Chain A
Amino acid sequence: MKRRNLFKILIGMLVIIILLWGIILYVYLDQNNKSDYYGIVYEREAPEFTLTDQDGSKVSLSDFKDKLVLIFFGYTHCPDICPMTMSVMNNVVDQLGDQADQVQVVFVTVDPERDTQEKLKSYVPYYNENFIGLTGTPEEIDKVADDYNIFYSKEEVESSSEYLMGHNSSVLLITPDGEILMKYPQNRMDPASIAGDIESIL
């Protein structure tokens, strides 16, 4: 009888310990998940790439080692989302003031057939002369997009021979130490908030 009681007490204590441990773990993990950032925390190593910029030079991600990189995949025949995003990026850089030289905005085309180096030269610097536009062979673009989990596909337009591209339109933030820390999807495009994130990282 006594032995049985002792067993019950032990089981009870064990249950309480497990519960407490669970609560502590939950609180700890919950705090860890909470982010003060405006962007969606992604935390993934940024794959290296080498593509061609609007001036014909080869550009690699590792060239921006000391900089924070905002990278966006789009195309110049894009009527709405891409000009809007480029305009947002320009606004972000504007708001950073002196810190702007620690940030590099990179536009990578998902439409290498039409977005030649010359095309990018008339497109990218229009938004900001420090922005870099990158193109490459369809195979090169395909590989970079794949490495970055960027989906893209051609879409026909009814009244014209032009075509559009469906594409992943989030802006990725790569920290100076080469981590894709955050994603900014189209519903998180407030320049002041993005600039705020950058200020707290730099």
Chain B
Amino acid sequence: MKTTLLLGVIFFAFAQFSSAEGDIAINDAWVREVPPGSSVSAIYMTIQSNGDEDDKLVSMSSKAAESAELHTSKVDSNGVATMEMIEVLDIPSNNSIDFQPGGMHIMLIGLKESLVGKDSVNLKLVFEKAGEVMIEVPVKKGQEGGHKHHH
């Protein structure tokens, strides 16, 4: 009896483990509330890969904007900030990738309506292996500084 139970637990644990393979979790996603009339904004999040296989983020879209692109802000030694588009983002297995202000973000281009007063925007992420992931991204005001970590 006890052995069966133990085997059951082990099996269950493995089943859980294997079902997580290739799984992608999106954590702490938010989109910046921007002034009325703004046509662009940025989505930040953490992409957590729980799988044993490497994956790739290949495309994204949102009903809130005409298009969405993966960008990273870069500041050179002269203080000049530019944005670089990332066509395909590698998601290594068992790893997490942070999107944060001043770094990687999903740029929403051509906002269809003001984000002021909106609760959330929808976002579809398409991964090569994990497939489509749909999330609702809450709209938040930038709270820079309050809890920003130092580098």
Contacts and interface: CB of A to CB of B under 8 A. Distances in A.
Contacts of A186: 75, 79, 81, 102
A166 interface: yes
Interface in A161-202: 162, 164, 166-170, 183, 185-187, 189-192
B8 interface: no
Contact of A162 (B39, B142, B151): B39
Contact of B40 (A79, A84, A189): A79
Given A77-B39, A80-B101, A83-B32, A169 B145 contact: no
Interface of A: 76-81, 83-84, 87-88, 91-92, 119, 122-123, 126-127, 151, 155, 157-160, 162, 164, 166-170, 183, 185-187, 189-192
A67 B48 CA distance: 47
Interface in B73-129: 73, 75, 78-83, 85, 101-102, 105, 107-110
A155 B82 contact: yes
Contact of A88 (B42, B85, B144): B144
Given A79-B42, A162-B109, A190 B85 contact: no
Nearest to A77: B40
Contacts, number: 114
Contact of A84 (B69, B108, B144, B146): B144
Given A126-B35, A157-B69, A187-B75, 13 more contacts: A77-B38, A79-B41, A79-B83, A79-B105, A83-B42, A84-B142, A87-B142, A119-B37, A122-B35, A122-B37, A164-B82, A169-B79, A185-B75
Interface of B: 32, 34-42, 66-67, 69, 71, 73, 75, 78-83, 85, 101-102, 105, 107-110, 141-146, 148, 150-151
7 contacts: A76-B38, A87-B142, A123-B38, A158-B85, A185-B75, A186-B79, A189-B148
Contacts of B82: 155, 164, 166
B66 A160 contact: yes
Contacts of A170: 79
A80 B36 contact: no
